[in-house]
Chain A
Amino acid sequence: MRVALFLTCVNDTLYPGTGRAVVKLLTRLGVDVDFPMAQTCCGQAHYNTGYRHQAEPLARHFSDVFGSDAYDAVVTPSGSCGAMVRELYPRMGERARAEGRGGGLARAVAPVVPKTYELTEFLVDVLGVTDVGAYYPHTVTYHPTCHGLRALGLADRPTRLLRAVKGLELVELPGAEECCGFGGTFAVKNADVSAAMGADKVRNAESTGAEVLCAADNSCLMHIGGTMTRLRTAVRPVHIAEILASTEEEASS
């Protein structure tokens, strides 16, 4: 199986460790991973802020880069960017058609939409594994980010994967399904409400006594982590890919 890693612009620029973890994890599971160098951004920030027309060329570019028959699947370690492709690209195509601009965009995105998967979805649904052979001797609490939870319907896939990790103790996060307050430009446009939501999320994480708060989206973790260091809490934010990539040999070396 050959997959294209769609890392997302945020991970590429700010969280390369997550990308390295995905490569390591998938390779360990026998998957042939490629990182198409021409990839940039899915356009979610544009779309969600009201710049749908500026997001269209990015959707086309994404489809050009990842639509190749050489890839059996496109895998991304981001629930929200995955949801952008799967949920919103088809909608953008339909809107363009309804506006009398033809079906070009809808046709361009059509091949790539059904083969794009969020990482945990890909592991559980496509590879059919829940035990990925990871070892992570820490207490972890899981925050299901909104787009992964509601737009993609990841359900218990991430927690099933986490429960199978050796040494890992999973503790329940109070108010887990409540938004952390990031919301892209929302964090800046409504900074006060966003910060209040973030602080509540951090306090809930703290109350679990966990060492690590894990999620499947670094954008949310950036907001939560930035709040954690400001509030001087002991909990650390870690992307789920980095937990799943960890091994026993590494821990003992």
Chain B
Amino acid sequence: MSGGTFVGMPAFPAAAREAVGNTTLRANLRHATHTIRDKRARAVAELSDWDRLREAGKRIKDHTLRHLDRYLVQLEESVERAGGTVHWAADAEEANRIVAGLVRATGETEVVKVKSMATQEIGLNEALEAEGIRAYETDLAELIVQLGHDRPSHILVPAIHRNRGEIRDIFREEMAGWGRPAPDGLTDTPAELAEAARLHLREKFLRAKVGISGANFMVAETGTLVVVESEGNGRMCLTLPETLISVVGIEKVVPAWRDLEVFLQTLPRSSTAERMNPYTSMWTGTTDEDGPSTFHLVLLDNGRTDTLADEVGRQALRCIRCSACLNVCPVYERAGGHAYGSVYPGPIGAILSPQLRGTGSEIDASLPYASSLCGACYEVCPVAIDIPEVLVHLRERVVQGGEATRGGNRVTLKPAKGHAAERAAMRAAGLAFARPGALRAGQRLASRTRRLHPRALPGPGRAWSATRDLPEVPVEPFRDWWQRTRGGGGGSGDDRTTEGNGR
């Protein structure tokens, strides 16, 4: 993927502004997210024990995270017993170095990839390219993103921001440069587009000697890795090459095989609204004459143990990447995935990225505010991550600083820049609200000057009055009415009719 990094992204509001103004993008996103969200709701409603499955998933993940050290060591032993090799990568750079070294050792300069969030997160394709190794994405949506010199904008449907016409144009213009060209006269019908991708990819599957994958789950007791997918391209990547390298975040481990029973129900229903995903591939080390003869597992930290150290924020590590939260999020629907400046967009991205990367950059400091806290994400999350709670917690870190863990060390973060005026305003409001008399004086002043109030606000308030009218300040605040009519005493009877609501 050539243009595929998020480095130097502007802060969320600026990136979102562009998307909000792009009517094609908004129409594409609206259509796709509403279709998936409605189907998901139906698929979930079919199960009478959904709430219990959700609770079970949450508990399994919490238990695993609490004993992560133990389960990771058990996983390492199981994988090696089954004939695999385990590598530990503290950060993106180390993971990329390990993978590039493993590919170079095979003598190959091409690899096929099954869609993997972890390798996107670390920018593996770019790192391999710098080493003269070309990585071919084989998931249909990832292929569209790669051919389009684009970035993924959704966890499950990376090309959700593209419509069929755009995809046809990308195939026509770009396929030839990466391998087998698009057939002549390609139209935008789904069947023709899928067939063009199939022919293009088939050539790569049959040639590739090295496959690179992520995994949805890793089972500690057996050393088994699991990928769920819809197309079967992933299974081709996992089974055809001689060498398989899997790069997986350490939070993907579950203790036992039976734990999959929960997630293989909740994940497909939450993500694609299917009762079961079409392909579930599981691999345990290597097996003679069957599948890859060499298997490497790269266990990726890259900010995960730092996240684990945060008592409120650690629940983000329960995430099973189903993307249900993206599909119900009204902010994601309008801002688009790219505005989140990370491979993890939407509500989960807004809490995961500022934890994995820290809140130091402009985009990461803006992400906790990329939500109206409506709570729709929490409601659909199959592992009950209280995303609004974590968003507010991270806002606190941005505006007030405080204790956090970075690179394994406890550090005291300073407040992010640009919040001094807001902090002062919040403090002033706090003081006024601590004294009812001060609040009342302010209300009376506002009422007496009501005819002088401007219709447009200066400063940050301009953002409000650009698109919305302000309410008119009423003649008297409620408390003055109460005191005037009740003399401040206890209430019984009402001698005034209700006027309009003051709007």
Contact = CB atoms under 8 A, between A and B. Distances in A.
Interface of A: 2, 7, 9, 11-21, 23-24, 27-28, 32-35, 37-41, 43, 45-55, 57-58, 61, 91, 98, 146-147, 150-151, 177-179, 181-199, 218, 221-223, 225-227, 229-230, 236-239, 242, 245-246, 250
B385 to A, nearest CB: 14
B439 A27 contact: no
Contacts of A178: 330, 374, 376
B372 A20 contact: no
Given A20-B478, A35-B486, A146-B376, 16 more contacts: A14-B474, A15-B471, A20-B498, A40-B432, A43-B433, A48-B392, A50-B392, A54-B427, A58-B434, A179-B330, A181-B330, A183-B372, A188-B463, A197-B334, A225-B503, A230-B469
Interface in B400-438: 400, 422-423, 426-427, 429-430, 432-436
Interface string B369-399: 1111111101100000000010010111111
Interface string B347-387: 00000000000000000000011111111101100000000
B469 A186 contact: no
B429 A45 contact: yes
B335 A150 contact: no
Nearest to A7: B478
A53 B400 contact: yes
Contact of B434 (A20, A61, A190, A239): A61
B375 A151 contact: yes
Contact size range, B: 35 or more
A146 B400 CA distance: 27
Nearest to B492: A32
Interface of B: 12-13, 16-17, 20-21, 26, 311, 330-331, 334-335, 368-376, 378-379, 389, 392, 394-400, 422-423, 426-427, 429-430, 432-436, 439, 443, 446, 460-461, 463-464, 466-471, 473-474, 476-479, 481-483, 486, 488, 490-494, 496-503
B434 A51 contact: no
Contacts of B493: 27
Contacts of B389: 91
Nearest to A246: B498
A150 B16 contact: no
A109 to B, nearest CB: 16
Contacts of B422: 49
Contacts of A7: 478
Would you list the 3 A-B pairs with minimal beta carbon distance, nearest first? A183-B372, A50-B395, A226-B468
Contacts of B17: 192
A14 B471 contact: yes
B482 A40 contact: no
Nearest to B430: A54
B375 A147 contact: yes
Contacts of A177: 376
B334 A50 contact: no
Contacts of B311: 98
A152 to B, nearest CB: 11
A244 to B, nearest CB: 10
A186 B371 contact: yes
Looking at chain B's contact residues, is the secondary structure mostly helix, strand, loop, or mixed?
Answer: helix
B20 A193 contact: yes
A64 to B, nearest CB: 11
B399 A51 contact: yes
A136 to B, nearest CB: 12
Contact of A51 (B331, B396, B470, B481): B396
A192 B483 contact: no
Contacts of A91: 389
Q: Which of B430, B468, B502 has the most CB of A within 10 A?
A: B468
Q: Which of A9, A98, A151, A188 has the most CB of B within 10 A?
A: A188
Nearest to A16: B478
B338 to A, nearest CB: 14
A218 B503 CA distance: 10
A169 to B, nearest CB: 20
A246 B501 CA distance: 12
B483 A37 contact: yes
A201 B482 CA distance: 34
A47 B429 CA distance: 12
28 contacts: A7-B478, A13-B473, A14-B474, A14-B502, A15-B502, A17-B474, A17-B498, A17-B502, A21-B501, A27-B494, A32-B490, A35-B491, A41-B433, A43-B433, A47-B392, A50-B397, A50-B400, A54-B430, A98-B311, A178-B330, A190-B16, A191-B13, A193-B331, A193-B334, A197-B331, A221-B503, A225-B469, A245-B498
B369 A190 contact: yes
A189 B501 contact: no
Contacts of B330: 178-179, 181, 197
Given A34-B491, A57-B430, A150-B375, A20 B12 contact: no
Nearest to B12: A190
B185 to A, nearest CB: 39
A237 B501 CA distance: 9
B399 A186 contact: no
A219 to B, nearest CB: 10
Contacts of A33: 491-492
B491 A49 contact: no
Contact of B429 (A46, A98, A184, A226): A46
Contact of A242 (B466, B469, B501): B501
A197 B502 contact: no
B394 to A, nearest CB: 8
Given A16-B478, A49-B426, A50-B398, A21 B498 contact: yes
Q: Which of B21, B374, B435, B460 has the most CB of A within 10 A?
A: B374
A5 B473 CA distance: 21
Contacts of B490: 2, 32, 34
A195 B468 contact: yes
